[in-house]
Structure 1
Amino acid sequence: MKQDDAAAFSGGQPQPLQGEWLLCDLDGTLIASDMLDESFWAASAHNPLAPLGAARALASGGRSGLKAQLAGLTTVAPEVLPYRAPVLELLESWRAAGGRCALVTASDERIARAIADHLGLFDAVHGSTAGQNLKGAAKAAFILEHYGAQVTYVGDSAADLAVWQSVERGITVAAPQALRRKAEATPAQILHMETAPPETGHRLPPLLRALRPHQWLKNLLIFLPMLAAHALELSTFLQSLVAFVAFSLVASSVYVLNDLLDLAADRAHPRKRHRPFASGALPLRTGFWLAPGLVLAGFALALTLGPVFLAVMALYYALTTAYSFRLKRLAILDICTLAALYAMRVVAGGAATGIELSAWLLAFTIFLFFSLAAVKRQAELVDNQASGREAAAGRGYRTEDLMLVSMMAVASGYLSVLVMALYVESEAVQGLYATPQALWGACGVLLYWLSRCVLLTHRGEMHDDPVVFALRDRTSQVCMVLILGLFTAGSF
């Protein structure tokens, strides 16, 4: 490490000479993400066939051709990217002290310029073009040719070691210890910049959050056919349990895919922007192996339950994938799809155990979960109204649709209560319950709970997912216990 330039880092902070250049990398440095991955998922969100075009571009033009292809397919919104606050502060203080800043990145130059224009912190911008991938040794040679060695380079990866070998000073950003040691072994004078958690934290917590294990509770619907038919044998329970695990793995795969395709909309949302991929806590590249790995594991388990269950799961996966790519952007149809996906969990429970489903159960499930899906959209529109936005990001609704969506939530919820009430008076219930009158109490509790959900959502007090809200809300927990208790009491 050179010691003759220590004055440049006085007080542990880089201090420029008048007009001195600070060269900053983009991927993993200025932002806690990678623009190649961002471009890939943004292009895929607009066109499901974009990955095929990307593969052709990579085969014919290498990484630089791939970057140019993806940059031409879509526009990544620079205002919602996960910027690293300490790096932004460094750029601002450097310019305030009389220095100059340049963005030098392996990302496509068009994307780099859009980001630089948004931030207004750079005096020059350099990125990859169709014929040049500005990374590693190529970036080091470019910097020496255009700026010389007396610069400070800010980077974050092993590819930046070639640059630190060539320049006077360097700063690592959120670098692991192994990379820090390698950087310190270069001729450059090195400083290390920390970033706030979760960016420098362990990858396991955000990885688990990306799977959304709390959403697996929706898959408890798989046990509903077994409970409704009072088929409480151990073999039936084990079949339902395997189906539950298989559905949970496949559902998590879809959640990961949905988060990757919905990055821009999530980052514009007051709560969803904290999701692991949207916030930058989890690299987007993780999704390339996580999503297919989960779905393969889920289908491997599904094979043990027979062809009917496997077919139901395949249909579920196809419908959820279609929802992620397109259906979630279509008003009304997105709510219908969510209700159908809930109903398919019940169908899967019947397919796994061989229990024939009643029309009562299917009708109740469809109306109830259409209502909850509408409540979810209602909550998003209430957030839009509070923030003054005219449309829901990534959805087919406008804020003016709030009243209609609320009406759909109420009407469908009350229809589910009506179906339950008709079921209580049907002949089918007489053979399953010794005291079916107790089920009338369950109808009353469900009526209260659904009405309360819509009211709280109207007031802006509902989590955007009513199922998650119900699991955390004390009143909802009491209602669930009462309903289970009344159904149990009806059996005796």
Structure 2
Amino acid sequence: MQNFGTGAVTPPWVVNLDHALLKSNIDHERAIAVIGQEIFSFPSRIKSIIASGEFKIEKRPMDASALAYNQDVLDALKREYRNGRKLFLCSALPYSVVKAVCDYHGIFSGFFVLDAASQNERDGVRRSIAQEFGSIIDDFELISLPADIGALTAAGHGSGQSGALVWTNVLSIISAIRVRQWSKNVLVFVPVMVSPVSTTDNWYQSILAFLAFSLVASISYVCNDLLDLQADRAHPTKRLRPFASGALPVATALFLVPILLVAACVAAFPLALTFQMTLVLYFMLTCLYSIYLKRMLMIDVVVLGCLYAIRVAAGGEATGIRPSEWLIAFSVFFFLALALIKRQAELATMLKLRRTKAGNRSYRTEDFPVIAALASSAAFNAVTIYAVFVWFEVQNELYSTPEALWFAIPMLVYWLGRMVLLAHRGSMLEDPIVFGATDAKSLICGAVVFGIVQWAH
């Protein structure tokens, strides 16, 4: 450990790693990781690990590059370092963690570990400095919080900053619950859209079903992001998610999840019991997927396809309009194709980054052509089933103009083929349905197909 250098013109800065440099709480993140790893153990096992603090013990070297840093603080520290100021880290985190961060950034002259009670107190830091260096050094500045940087650099904080912070947190929460992903849940409207006997009440029931599914899906997204923190931070786009980037502390989930759960129950309460049971099944399956199934080769895409199909079935349970066997068969292959396209897009991203494997998936980049072939096969099997369905409807004349349904086939072929090609090129960075909800050509295709179905009615 190096000495401060009492002859320095400017006093050194002692930076609190836990609350100033890091945007996230490592202990909270480790506790969540333990829960995810031990979820199938007895609850008493999880409780004993958390109570004993065993989750704090480093079982493998800390990857300092995968932590969520306060970029404004880090930039200010780098400027001061270039100007010749000595910087030191203090922290209540384990020695190995603090050392890893110190070595990674290369701007700190040294570090020392504090007890949790004194890490933000100047006297406590002074005592630690005395123990480390053998003398009491009074001439230093303690950076306990990000705001301390502004005070020391005369950057100041405007009166409107608190309001901006609140607005930023609101936007982060909206991003965390992935309101954009709610577009997937329009699938609950499929039964009422294709039925020739739907009523206004059916549309109202579908809207409630959409809200209930969206809120429950948001719970699963929050839980999934908490369990995937490390993998997301290594991903080019997922690293920007609120929990991975540190924009939201992981403790936010403690009040966010219950609020979403209550709101989902309120939306589902007026609907049929069978819908509520389907919603519970969906939630359990998404949790199982997030914790375990998404890491299993091919099982993950089958489950993902089933989660799409469950939305369609749930829409039928909410309205009392049961999907036909043809619609279920079409949905299975159609949504399996979308699940495979999603994996194809992820592998294309991995190829661009020259990585061999995603951190939380069982697929390797060498599987890319196989996944692409499976996606194409599933997509055009769905089109084949739809063509047989149209032929069946023409024979039975359940629609007033069933021949009109033939015109949807070219649109399906075009849209599915385009999705496969865009995923192959690496141009699709998110879920195909979410991509389609913001893609002009996809929206036109959807509007045309909807118009064709209404014409057939």
- Partner-residue secondary structure (3-state), 2:201: helix
Residue-by-residue CA offset, 1:168-216 (whole Å, 9 max, x unaligned): xxx6158xxxxx8xxxxxxxx7856779999896311111111111211
1:152 counterpart = 2:144 = no
1:38–1:126 distance in 2 versus 1, CA, 3 Å: farther
Runs (5+) with no aligned partner, structure 1 = 1-15, 60-64, 158-170, 175-179, 181-188
- Partner-residue secondary structure (3-state), 1:394: coil
Residue-by-residue CA offset, 1:425-479 (whole Å, 9 max, x unaligned): 1148744312212111101110111111111221222232111221222211221
Q: Distance in 1 between matches of 2:403 and 2:423?
A: 32
Match of 1:143 in 2: 126
CA contact (8 A) 1:219 1:247 kept: yes
Match of 1:123 in 2: 109
Match of 1:10 in 2: none
Match of 1:133 in 2: 116
Match of 2:206 in 1: 240
Q: Distance in 2 between matches of 1:40 and 1:349?
A: 37
Match of 2:90 in 1: 104
Match of 1:81 in 2: 67
- Partner-residue secondary structure (3-state), 2:362: coil
Match of 2:27 in 1: 36
1:339 counterpart = 2:305 = yes
Q: What RMSD over aligned residues (CA atoms) do the two structures have, in Å?
A: 3.0
CA contact (8 A) 1:155 1:173 kept: no
| 1:231 alignment partner, one of 181, 197, 203 | 197
Letter in 1 for 2:111: V
CA contact (8 A) 1:253 1:295 kept: yes
Q: Distance in 2 between matches of 1:200 and 1:300?
A: 27
Q: CA deviation at 1:412?
A: 0.5
Match of 1:172 in 2: 148
Q: CA deviation at 1:80?
A: 2.2
Match of 1:113 in 2: 99
Letter in 1 for 2:66: V
Q: How does 1:77-476 map to 2 (within 5 A)?
A: 77-127=63-113, 132-135=115-118, 140-147=123-130, 148=136, 149-156=138-145, 172-173=148-149, 202-427=168-393, 430-476=396-442
CA contact (8 A) 1:29 1:87 kept: yes
Q: Distance in 2 between matches of 1:458 and 1:155?
A: 48
Q: Distance in 2 between matches of 1:42 and 1:395?
A: 17
Q: Distance in 1 between matches of 2:345 and 2:88?
A: 43
| 2:56 alignment partner, one of 64, 70, 80 | 70
1:466–1:265 distance in 2 versus 1, CA, 3 Å: same
CA contact (8 A) 2:89 2:108 kept: yes
Letter in 2 for 1:215: Q
Q: CA deviation at 1:260?
A: 1.4
1:22 counterpart = 2:13 = yes
Q: Percent identity?
A: 34
Match of 2:4 in 1: none
- Partner-residue secondary structure (3-state), 2:112: strand
Residue-by-residue CA offset, 1:291-316 (whole Å, 9 max, x unaligned): 23312331343233243222111111
Deviates more, 1:218-227 or 1:228-237: 228-237
Q: Distance in 1 between matches of 2:56 and 2:398?
A: 59
1:429–1:285 distance in 2 versus 1, CA, 3 Å: farther
1:489 counterpart = 2:455 = yes
Q: Distance in 1 between matches of 2:305 and 2:62?
A: 32
Residue-by-residue CA offset, 1:244-279 (whole Å, 9 max, x unaligned): 111111001111111111112222222222222222
- Partner-residue secondary structure (3-state), 1:27: helix
CA contact (8 A) 1:250 1:299 kept: no
1:201–1:221 distance in 2 versus 1, CA, 3 Å: closer
Identify the structure with bigger relative contact order (alpha carbons < 8 Å, sequence gap 6+).
2
1:395–1:137 distance in 2 versus 1, CA, 3 Å: closer
CA contact (8 A) 2:344 2:372 kept: yes
Match of 2:133 in 1: none
Deviates more, 1:101-110 or 1:195-204: 195-204
Give the TM-score, by structure 1 length: 0.81
Residue-by-residue CA offset, 1:5-33 (whole Å, 9 max, x unaligned): xxxxxxxxxxx926953211123421222
Runs (5+) with no aligned partner, structure 2 = 1-6, 131-135
Letter in 1 for 2:186: L
Give the TM-score, by structure 2 length: 0.87
Q: Distance in 2 between matches of 1:352 and 1:74?
A: 49
Residue-by-residue CA offset, 1:91-149 (whole Å, 9 max, x unaligned): 34444455433221233333222222322333333336xxx424456774243352543
Task: Report the number of matched residues.
Answer: 442
Q: CA deviation at 1:376?
A: 0.8
1:18–1:429 distance in 2 versus 1, CA, 3 Å: farther
1:56 counterpart = 2:32 = no
Deviates more, 1:225-234 or 1:204-213: 225-234
Q: CA deviation at 1:55?
A: 4.0
Q: CA deviation at 1:365?
A: 0.9
Deviates more, 1:267-276 or 1:39-48: 39-48
1:346–1:24 distance in 2 versus 1, CA, 3 Å: same
CA contact (8 A) 1:329 1:395 kept: yes
